[in-house]
Structure 1
């Protein structure tokens, strides 16, 4: 407290000329230090001869505050089976009051915070079993605050009430009068001579030596401090709706469901007798769009109805909005007024908010009807009737979450290629050691005055990728055998020959093996 008073004097740290009153207070405190040797505290909480197994232990934490300081003190109350009570000092915690002036209820609340922290510390650090913990305060205002929700109060009180409610159970808080509160010694102070003698600070309050029926009780009349309550703020929107109200768009999954529900709302049970007309659905669509605009642009709609310009910070300012007096809809003004061939809805599209649920259902309906094309296609089709603010972004955002759009835009996964077969890896063998063959065609050729078919056959070295081409007069086995003989005569006999299951290949397998023993193997690979 002396240091805090020095701060208030605004003096330099090395100024030797201290104020007389602070210098005298320092001298008085220094002279008291000679009595410090007389201060003793018993180390044991209870006598050694006491039977610990038949006792019950309670922790009592007292808190108090003043304009100068605040703090809390804890005592251990031990009661034997015969009813004898022992009180012992456990722990104390004191704080200097903040330099900024606070009300007494706020300082009492700060003291209660130290008491809650002290009880939590003792609960964690004490190794002995404690049956019950009780916290005491002489402020009825603090007790009233603790029984309320922290969000009701201002920031200073609300944060501390929330901390106390988190650290302690609200049922353990009790009231104690100031005369019986030992934490009052923290705020008022005591000299070392007073502390050396038997006193309430070291031995605990006397009422804890008696039964609970003699303990202090909370007064019946409690004054509630309403200055710390938050001011209530009205966050609603008042609007006047004429005629039937359209259903909430967020409750429906598709545009058609919303349209059907709105049409039924407009015509009631009378519309259930037969099929609804196109005019009924047009009225329902107009009602849905009008409600969406009332939710998204209430100020602009009100000013346009009154014939006044919209504010300069409006999102619709660059669109030159106009009010369609027939349907009370906000439409985009433009430069196409003289286009007689265009539809009026295309010349003056209806303005929509991209974040409204109705707009999302509209984008979904257009996307499904157009079979999930790109965003530009959907946006261009919507623009024929509706002008959605940041429309491209809204369409892209929807298509990013649409399962069908993602499926159509997905790219196929390229399969991993298998290992090369042994025939492709004959590195130290001659060309056409491993050969693959296949036929191709037919080709039309002129023979005299007639036209005949001819086929080609390809022999390919699987290692060096060399190619041998030949001509077949027909696609039968005999033509193939002649081509094979010409190939062997020119290129040499292959160690293995691979082909598909062509008819001309398959019918002559036995013949091939017979003519080329141990040198030719026909693998029927498709």
Structure 2
């Protein structure tokens, strides 16, 4: 259950809220009385400016927390007011003048009453967060668009696909060079008006406040994705109870627009993985005092980014190496898995959605359908490529792809899949090099592609060509011996 209280009474607020003295006083009170109140954590951990927002597993525990907070802060002359909770029996014994609102005495009738908790709109009776955005019919300028975007307060990133769409429009405005109070270009204006017209539907979005329910096994799953527009990372909590029932809940998300300096899609996907690693560190730090996470899984639909992450950073150039090193320090490489783009909930967060589309996007709110199934029903391979690969009757890995109905040889429709630096790949390239009289890199790559699908083929064939050229020079005696 949740309980919230205003630390500073109205008469105390003006003098104490200037700077940090009030918060420093509360911190010192908690330290001084730590021995006599060893169970108190709310005053030390859950105090935010002039609010205390904490929780408990039962009404009895919440009542004890209320009593301890009242006694501790009374030593410093603080009188706690504006008590709120999602349970009506918590208010027993609380004077009417100390309630957030007298309506809490009739708890069942306040199902539509929203309170501001750290800037979020919270409905105490159904115990969920909601979103309400007011829309003004104003000229479409850079100033008005930025002003209305700022009204969407979403610190947990629950509306990331929607806020990303708005941030992307803002980036387009900056690129267009339009002045602050000039009308936006027609293409941006049309998209913004469609976006703004749908904002009122956000009032129908209700997100359960309690993220972690009762469980036997608790895991977290992380997804990341990138597009030319930007990148997104999203985290889900997966709880398995004693009856084997699995519950998946959206925990938090974060999105960023792509930098104006053009980057390749694989590099953007790598930046999305960095974003996920940073977000994951924050979530794990927040969960640490409360829950033990048994397993963690990270998912990406980029085979190139996964190949970077699962390799030694020293193999790559500086841009990739630095980011791979950061990711590996946070998320072990073996925890990464490949997911199809269609099953990646972060995909919509990296492209943006209009409000109507977001509220109906089930995969965003609950993750891919298989996430609520037993783990053995999840995508099996820890890493695969986007080629619909399969094992043939001989146990060889072949590419599926879209040529299955083409009137060409079987080996062309389904070439064998080979890694770039495999012990079979190198002599195979050398054989083709000699057989076809040392062709150029592109020609050699095309010849190999008739029967084989080699990962990073340009790098593999270029290395082989340089090696064969050096070998040929050595045989011809054109390279002198060192003294």
**TM-score of the superposed pair, with normalisation by structure 2:** 0.44
Structure with the larger RCO, 1 or 2 (CA within 8 Å, 6+ apart): 2
Structure with max Cα Rg = 1
**TM-score of the superposed pair, with normalisation by structure 1:** 0.41
